[in-house]
Amino acid sequence: MRLVAIDMDGTLLPDFSTVVSERNRRALLKAQKAGIVVAIATGRRQAFTAPLIDDIGLRADTPLITSNGAVTRSILGERIDFNHLDPAIARGLCGVLRGVGMLVFTLDKAVPPDLIVEDMAVARGRLAKWVESNRLSIKEVRPIEDALGDDVDLIQGMAAGTIAEMEEAERRLAECDFADRFECIRTAYPGNDLSILDLLPKGVSKSSALERLAKRLGVAQEETMAIGDNWNDETMLDWAGTGVLMGNATAELRTLAPERGWRVGPTNCEDGVAVMLEEAIAMLGTANMAGNPVGSGRV
């Protein structure tokens, strides 16, 4: 294994925490030292991801696959891969989803505000916490279409709300006239009655970003591993040579594991990422002793 893509929430991070555990931290660093490229693959945007891993000590060229595959940059912000969402599609999505949950668009900007919403008052529960933690990055525009001109660099849209609201949103999106011109990737947290739909450029996902990164690095598909816990990790687990589903994933996803060929690891609160990385590092050590050297792991 020469390349591993690791989800953040529910995978690398323990429940109710934004701090990577000491065992996971050590495993990430040992993996890099062993020549494995460690990539973080998350639905979060870059600005909301980098601060969470600043203290780990990862190499400056560590790839961050963010916004569910729309953008890949190094920890330092160097652009590796990027896909824009067509502003015309974004404006169409506003009409389709108006009145269902909360709709947010992420702009490709280095400084705030880089999040556009129409009405922050609709946020509640975990969404209210998200708004509060991102308040300095958010700009309200009514109607939201006014902020989505053809000259705007858009990374993605995000619809969020209760499970029932996002089921209605998915139905509307599937029936709209341009359903074949964007991707809709679901993340669900049934215990909190929260669901998120990431609205991305056509063909964009964590798996597509991982595939392009592997090609850039000259890493074969069978030499990759992906570790995740939610629906937005599904295609990434399918594509990777070794797909690892965290033990804290929903029962529905765990049921899929045997037929999809995914391994089921320990939970995020049991340092499941570290367990899988330690196993992979041990296997690399055995391979090296047999005379099969590992590359440098540089992007």
Interval 27-73: pLDDT, tens:
999 999 999 999 999 999 888 899 999 999 999 999 999 999 999 99
Instruction: Please give the residue that has the higher pLDDT: either 289 or 9.
Output: 9
- The answer to whether the beta carbons of residues 188 and 230 sit under 8 Å apart is yes
- Would the pLDDT of 290 be above 70? no
Residues 6+ apart with CB under 8 A from 204: 68, 69, 70, 83, 183
Q: Rounded mean pLDDT of 214-241?
A: 98
Distance (Å, rounded) from C-alpha 109 to C-alpha 131?
A: 18
Q: Rounded mean pLDDT of 166-195?
A: 95
Decide the pairing of beta strands 154-161 and 3-6: unpaired
Neighbour count for residue 289 (Cβ, 10 Å): 8
Q: Determine the 3-state secondary structure of 196 from DSSP.
A: strand
What are the domain boundaries of the chain?
3-82+205-289, 87-201
What's the start-to-end Cα distance of the chain, in Å? Answer: 15
- Would the pLDDT of 288 be above 80? no
Cis peptide before 143 (omega within 30 of 0): yes
The pTM is what? 0.87
**What's the CATH fold of domain 3-82+205-289?**
Rossmann fold (3.40.50)
Q: Rounded mean pLDDT of 85-89?
A: 97
**What's the CATH fold of domain 87-201?**
3.30.1240
Neighbour count for residue 2 (Cβ, 10 Å): 22
Q: Which residues share a beta bridge with 57?
A: none
**What local confidence, expressed as pLDDT, does residue 111 receive?**
84
DSSP 231: G
Q: Rounded mean pLDDT of 149-162?
A: 95
Distance (Å, rounded) from C-alpha 36 to C-alpha 231?
A: 25
Write down the mean pLDDT value for the chain: 93
Instruction: Please give the residue that has the higher pLDDT: either 234 or 133.
Output: 234
What b/e string do you get for 8-37 counting C-beta neighbours within 10 Å, with b at 16 or more? Answer: bbbbbbbeeeeebbeebbbbbbbbbebbbb
Distance (Å, rounded) from C-alpha 2 to C-alpha 297?
A: 7
DSSP 155: E
Distance (Å, rounded) from C-alpha 262 to C-alpha 237?
A: 7
